[in-house]
Amino acid sequence: MTEMVDKSVAGGVNPNTNLLDWSYDENGDPKFRTIRNDTFDSVIDSSFYTSETGNYYISHDTANVGGNTGGKVKLRFTGNVSETVDAMAQLTFTLPRIFKELIFEYDLYVPANYSHTIPSDNANNNKFLRLWQTTYGFYHAGNKCGASLFANSGNSTLIPECMHFGDGVGPGIGWGDTSDTGFIGAADKGAWMHVKVHAKAATVGNNFSEGGTTCGDGFIRFYKNDVLSARNEKMASIGTGAQGWKYGYLMGAANSGFRVDTDFYIDNLVIIGV
Ligand SMILES: [Ca+2]
């Protein structure tokens, strides 16, 4: 894979080789670089869109979806008449290395028939994004963060999620979370929205403590149509050494399930990182 570098800004000296290198700035610090810029017009590149957790119910699609007739990723959450049956569709990716700061931008289509309900088992958290560092798992498996959609009268609230000591990833209520109750509202159904995610890992490892009494200096910020939405400004890190993320996925397990087939679409995914 070729990494694109913005050469409109002066390059610097690579501290490791002492040679001029466009991936470093004038202070010798690594610069943001484009990791991925996908229009999905021909295929979903399986060499990049892959990870240990695997893809689920995604396909390449060229139907006219809200005026978009080019190629895009279709994510089908299969409907089931039983209200406690979950659904799942996720687009996974593996970055070329661990990045300490990442920005994702993409277009997301929310179907007109989208209805986010609360089943009788009460589980209604539907994954929106996950990022992780080493192995997808729980305690001491490296940094993880993300966000999930929670039911809100048929619409969805977006809540950022961070590490829970010994318990994977979940909402950081009281640990810096600001949720967005209007992330998917009536006006967002049957329409494309532009999503931006900016995540920066905490600079210090092992600055996490159970109960959130110690928070970190990392953050994860979500933007809907270029307006700041849900965010966590106190993300902590776990483990020692370099902090950041290498793996992740968009959308994912939907604990609410859906009564009818519910098709999301993703297009124009740009990922930059440092
Ligand atoms: Ca496209």
Distance 152 CA to ligand 1 centre (A): 30
| 21 occurs within a structural domain | no
| 17 occurs within a structural domain | no
| 43 occurs within a structural domain | yes
Q: Which protein residues have their CB within 5 A of the ion that is ligand 1?
A: 39-41, 70-72, 267
Distance 103 CA to ligand 1 centre (A): 19
CATH number, domain of 53, equals 2.60.120.200
For residue 47, with 0-12 CB atoms within 10 Å meaning exposed, 13-18 middle and 19 or more buried, which class applies?
exposed
Tell me the pLDDT tens digit for each residue of 30-84: 789 899 999 999 999 999 999 988 999 999 999 999 999 999 999 999 999 999 9
Q: CA-based Rg of the chain, rounded to a whole angstrom?
A: 19
Tell me the pLDDT tens digit for each residue of 208-249: 665 555 678 889 999 999 999 999 988 888 766 668 999 999
| 26 occurs within a structural domain | no
| 24 occurs within a structural domain | no
How many domains does the structure of the chain reveal? Answer: 1
Q: Which amino acid is at 221?
A: R
| 224 occurs within a structural domain | yes
Q: Note down the domain range covering 122.
A: 38-273
Question: Is the per-residue pLDDT at 117 higher than 70?
Answer: yes
| 22 occurs within a structural domain | no
**Does residue 187 sit in helix, strand or coil?**
helix
| 12 occurs within a structural domain | no
Determine the distance from the C-alpha atom of residue 244 to the mean position of all C-alpha atoms in its chain, rounded to a whole number. 13
Cβ–Cβ < 8 Å for 261, 62:
no
